[in-house]
Amino acid sequence: MPARYHLWTIGCQMNTADSQRLAAALEELGYTPTGQPAQADVIVLNTCVVRQSAEDKVYGRLSSLRPLKERCPGLVIGVMGCLVGPRQVDHLRERFPWVDVWMPPSQPEPLLRMLRERGYAAEGTKSDRRLLPLSARGRVVTACIPVVLGCSTGCTYCVIPYRRGAERSRPVEEIIAEAEALVAQGVREITLLGQIVDRYGLDLPEKTTLAALLRSLHRIADLWRIRFLTSHPRWFTEELLNAVAELPKVCEHIELPVQAGDDEVLARMRRGYTVAEYCHLVALIRERIAGVSIATDIIVGFPGETEEQFRRTYELLAGLRLDKVHIARYSPRPQTLAARRYPDDVPEEEKERRRKALEELQTSIAEELNARLLGQTVEVLVEGRDERKGRWWGRTRTDRLVFFESTEDWLGRLAQVRITWSGPWSLIGEAVTSTPPGSPYPPLDRPL
Ligand code: SAH
């Protein structure tokens, strides 16, 4: 029986991207995936500690692996991701002695080396596949490429800089080569990732920008869609706005966290902008990018957040009517300035009340925005099939989830779908055209 791996991932897209790469590397070493930890020869947890609730889930998982390791001492257990900061390893080793290998975010090499050394796997060849999320589970249509690793911006609530290290942009050529290899494997949509992705290139010796990177990627013939996240309002430039507006492959979808709707709270978060500046940017983006969808992140119950300050966040979201809002209750994180300086003084029930209020507001906004699409035809890149429900699913350029039924094979194709049902989180429709599987973009007759 072939050796098997079980990979468990929580957290942001960066973690998902790291897991895809690790999965590809393990598959190259001859491992096949299993959903059952008890059947695995290698188990990897890819962890998140951005909030206490995520960290607690990780501890729960870690504890559940102990009996497995006791039963099969040959089992290899690896832990990767933001739990494994540079200062945490000694403590973690002591607390969880049944873990064989600890790996910082985006660094799976120690596990791969161990598997080779222990002879569990044949020596892998360094082929292109290594980069790729091409999985034993089948063709992958969309993929993420981390372009900015780490973060050096000190938002006072955020632990990420302490776990992912200083900000560093990857070289342009490396990213292009990776994108080309992905596209050659059938990937049609690429999402560029960075904690503050619009800072891409500012730390490179050649001082390039995200806009320039988008223009370079745009030339890849069989790449159909490009996204990027997460943008920070302070670094969202005119140049980037123009690139998104001009480049047909770059989807009109911007992730732009505001975090709070009150200037005093924003200042204590050290976000570096005011509410008015944020609103101005949203207006500009909407004016220049037709049909754009904008998503945001909010933290409720930041230390000292008064009812009145929370009301301002509520009013801001009610006024802006953004397409998607990720809402989190503030969670004090070790090492961060906020945790050291400000007492966590908003009671949990109050944080939850505020979260719920925003959630309800946003549900009704999303419901209304999606209902406008009823009867319209949208372009969907088909990413997969829900076999249980017998329907295809994919996303619009504005990142809306769409399902439709069809007996044809739609995987990796662009479908024109007429929307027949809408809810706050997804849409259902019927495929109206059966475009041949090919690029929607004619060869470019002018350089963009
Ligand atoms: N760098 C990215 C992602 C950061 S983590 C960004 O700027 O968006 C994703 C989201 O988690 C953040 O936007 C924030 O809303 C939330 N978050 C981060 N730290 C948090 C904390 N200590 N408590 C609650 N939510 C937090």
For the segment 305-352, what is each residue's pLDDT rounded down to a tens digit?
999 999 999 999 999 999 999 999 999 999 999 999 999 999 999 999
pLDDT at residue number 446: 44
Separation of alpha carbons 386 and 19, rounded Å: 22
Distance CA 143, CA 383 (A): 10
Q: How far is the CA of 199 from the centre of ligand 1 (A)?
A: 17
Give the Cα separation of 240 and 407 in Å (integer): 40
Region 213-228: mean pLDDT is 97
Phi, psi of 114 (to 5 degrees): -60, -40
Backbone angles phi, psi at 160, to 5 degrees: -55, -45
Check residue 123 and give its pLDDT: 46
Q: Is the pLDDT of residue 129 over 70?
A: no
Task: Report CA(157)–ligand 1 centroid distance (Å).
Answer: 8
Output the pLDDT for position 40: 96
Angle, helices 172-184/210-218, rounded to nearest 10 degrees? 30
**Which protein residue's CA is at the shortest distance from atom 2 of ligand 1?**
195
First to last CA, the chain: 51
CA of 156 to the centre of ligand 1 (A): 10
Report the candidate in 250, 257, 321 with the shortest Cα–Cα distance to residue 286: 321
Pocket, ligand 1, Cβ cutoff 6 A = 50-51, 157-158, 160, 195-196, 230, 232, 257, 259, 297, 299, 328, 330-331, 333
Mean pLDDT score of the chain:
93
Distance 50 CA to ligand 1 centre (A): 7
259: left (phi over 0), alpha (psi -120 to 50) or beta: left
- 126-140, 147-161, 232-246, 332-346: the lowest-pLDDT one: 126-140
Chain segment 27-56, per-residue pLDDT in tens: 999 999 999 999 999 999 999 999 999 999
Q: What is the mean pLDDT of residues 243-263?
A: 98
pLDDT surpassing 90 at residue 5: yes
Give the E-state strand segments of 232-287 in sequence order.
253-255
Confidence (pLDDT) at 444: 45
Mean pLDDT in residue range 437-441: 61
Q: What are the tokens at 32?
A: 């096949």
Q: Residue 94 belongs to what H/E stretch? A: helix 89-95
What is the 8-class DSSP label of residue 145?
E
Q: Which atom of ligand 1 is nearest to the CA of 298?
A: 15
Q: Ligand 1: which atom is nearest the Cα of residue 196?
A: 1
Task: Please give the full DSSP string across 338-360, using - where no structure is assigned.
Answer: HHHHS---S-HHHHHHHHHHHHH
- The model's confidence at residue 139, banded by pLDDT at 50, 70 and 90, is confident
Cβ neighbours of residue 305 under 8 Å, at least 6 residues apart? 260, 262, 265, 330, 346
Ligand 1 pocket test, candidate residues 278, 299, 340, most atoms within 8 A of CB: 299
Mean pLDDT in residue range 153-176: 96
Which of ligand 1's atoms lies nearest the C-alpha of 326?
Answer: 15
Residue 117, pLDDT score: 86
Q: Given pLDDT bands bounded at 50, 70 and 90, which one contains residue 271?
A: very high
* Ligand 1 nearest atom to the CA of residue 158, by list position: 19
Banded pLDDT at 438 (limits 50, 70, 90): low
